[in-house]
């Protein structure tokens, strides 16, 4: 097996406890899958089906940014309204490109 193919554990520093915790790669992947932006992204994608390609939801302190590609302005608007309904933060930018 190739040495570069072996994933090393991620190191997470917990600020409240000020201690270092090592997590295995599967634990890191599971935690990333349940990150708020991934959850909102999945919910918006479920609601819109295949209308938005390459949907990305970026959550910042001041709000949400939507990115992706679609064939219609209607789908772009539907994505924005779904994110407003499902998310707790305001939409800062809707950067979904209409082609």
| Residue 82 included in any domain | yes
3-state DSSP assignment of residue 27: helix
Q: Give me the domain span that covers residue 80.
A: 36-98
Q: pLDDT of 8-59, one tens digit each?
A: 445 444 455 555 555 555 554 545 545 667 888 999 999 999 999 999 999 8
* Overall number of domains in the chain: 1
Position 54 scores a pLDDT of: 94
What dihedral do alpha carbons 19, 26, 57, 63 form, nearest 10°?
-20
Residue-level pLDDT at 35: 63
**CATH code of the domain in which 62 resides:** 3.30.1340.30
For 3, 9, 31, 70, 88, the CA distances from 24, given in Å and listed in that order, are 16, 5, 11, 37, 31
Residue 12: predicted pLDDT: 47
User: What are the tens digits of pLDDT across the range 72-84?
Assistant: 999 999 999 999 9
Closest listed residue to residue 63, CA positions, set 43, 81, 83, 44? 83
Q: What is the pTM of this model?
A: 0.64
The residue-averaged pLDDT of 63-92 equals 94
- Please report whether residue 83 resides in a domain: yes
| 77 within some domain | yes
- Do the domain assignments include residue 8? no
2-11, 28-37, 90-99 — which is least confidently predicted? Answer: 2-11
CA pair distance 29, 48, nearest whole angstrom: 25
């Amino acid at each position: 097996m190739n040495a570069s193919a072996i994933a090393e554990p991620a190191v997470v520093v917990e600020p409240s406890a000020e201690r270092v915790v090592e997590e295995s790669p599967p634990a890191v992947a599971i935690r990333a899958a349940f990150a708020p932006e991934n959850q909102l992204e999945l919910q918006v994608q479920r609601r819109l089906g295949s209308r938005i390609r390459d949907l990305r939801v970026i959550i910042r302190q001041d709000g949400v940014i939507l990115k992706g590609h679609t064939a219609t302005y209607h789908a772009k608007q539907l994505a924005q309204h779904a994110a407003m309904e499902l998310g707790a933060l305001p939409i800062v930018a809707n950067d979904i490109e209409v082609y």
